[in-house]
Amino acid sequence: MENNQYLFPEKFRILSGSSLKLIAMVLMLIDHTASVLLRNFEPAITPLFSIGSHQITIYYLCRLIGRMAFPVFAFLICEGYTHTSNKVKYGLNLLMFAFISEIPWNLEHSGTWHFYAQNVFFTLFLGYAGICALEKYRNDYKKMAVCLLALLAVSFLIRADYGMSGFGFIIFLYITRNQKLVQAIVGSCFLSSRWKAGLAFIPINMYNGKRGFIKGKVFKYAFYIIYPAHMLILFILKKQIFGY
């Protein structure tokens, strides 16, 4: 079904898929840098001003901005399914980088080889698998329900980042891909971060449906590698600066 419902006029739909990837990466880097480093940096946690009972700090602003990253990545997974020429390879790439990213994720979050939750690539992979199940069993609701419930259970059991709500969010985005207003309103209430994550629907609705400047295997995999690489860098910086 053709998407003919937009929140913004065509002149504002200026972001390609590559632009959204770059935006999501920058948001993620801001969020993780704040979470790992700035939370222990005195100037970053010193209040700048107050709004009611809430004290606004640089750390708070960075985390607020960072909440927009996951919804954009989730949206890109839906677009990836729609546009990829090899759906199996796309899914395997997500799963491969989920395992590659696990040790850097553990080190960043616990400073050890082990952490109770799993990185967001597992969430993205499970969401992608859910989209595949939706399409494969679109005429067999029982098999579709079994697959989706099984994937939802896996996201819970392995404690994938963003949990069951993260998996459900990706499925929701795919189902409502042709209902942008519903997607933005309901999607803003879907995740635990609520309106903060909802801000992501601004760049999402500026998407023009074009692939953009990221072409070729080198640039494609560079964006995958940034995820585990930046977590290792943050872990090393934390050890050097704070000693733990």
Give the integer Cα–Cα distance in Å for 183 and 191.
13
3-state SS, residue 195: helix
What are the beta bridge partners of residue 50?
A: 55
Place of tokens 């597992």: 122
Residue 149 in tokens: 């419930």
User: Helix or strand or coil: residue 68?
Assistant: coil
**Cα 177 to Cα 107, 145, 180, 200, 231, distances in angstroms:** 36, 20, 6, 15, 31
The per-residue pLDDT string of the chain (244 residues; one tens digit each, 9 = 90 and over) reads 444 567 888 889 999 999 999 999 999 999 999 999 999 899 999 999 988 888 899 999 999 999 999 999 999 999 999 999 899 999 999 999 999 999 999 999 998 999 999 999 999 999 999 999 999 999 999 999 999 999 999 999 999 999 999 999 999 999 999 998 889 888 888 776 667 788 999 999 999 989 888 777 788 888 899 999 999 999 999 999 887 7
DSSP annotation of 200 reads T
Which candidate, 191, 196, 187, 201, places its Cα nearest to that of 6? 201
Domain boundaries, the chain: 10-15+69-228
- Residue 2 is predicted with a pLDDT of 47
193: helix, coil or strand?
coil
Residue 5 · residue 180 · CB < 8 Å: yes
Note the helical H segments in 84-198. Answer: 87-100, 102-110, 120-136, 141-157, 163-175, 180-187, 195-198
Judge if pTM exceeds 0.85. yes
To the nearest 10°, report the CA torsion of 20, 25, 85, 202. -30
Give the DSSP per-residue string, 21-85: HHHHHHHHHHHHHHHHTGGG-HHHHS-SEEETTEEE-HHHHHHHHHTTHHHHHHHHHHHHHHH-S
